[in-house]
Amino acid sequence: MPWSILWTDQALHSIARIDPPVARRILKKVEQAAADPLHFFSRLVASDEYKLRIGDYRLLAVLDRTSKTIVVEQVDHRSRIYERR
């Protein structure tokens, strides 16, 4: 059973600003990762968040194993995503 995906308002706003072909690629990768998130996501050091690499973009999410939910918090270019942490 695939995991459910929840998008925060900030993540939705970020994905809307990205080039449409890149945004489609990100959405496709997240849907693919929902089948087995622990295979696709890498845990951030000293954090409860996980990252998903999609080309030059990164997606930061929290994986809730009890409810099998991926909560997408941020999507941005790799040069900017970690500055806000």
Where are the chain's structural domains?
Answer: 4-77
SS3 content of the chain, % helix, strand, coil (to 5): 30, 35, 35
Q: State the Cα–Cα distance between residues 58 and 77, nearest whole angstrom.
A: 6
Q: How confident is the model at residue 31 (pLDDT cuts 50, 70, 90)?
A: very high
Q: Is the pLDDT of residue 73 over 90?
A: yes
Name which CATH class applies to 4-77.
alpha beta
pLDDT digits (tens, 9 = 90+) for 43-67: 999 889 999 999 999 999 999 999 9
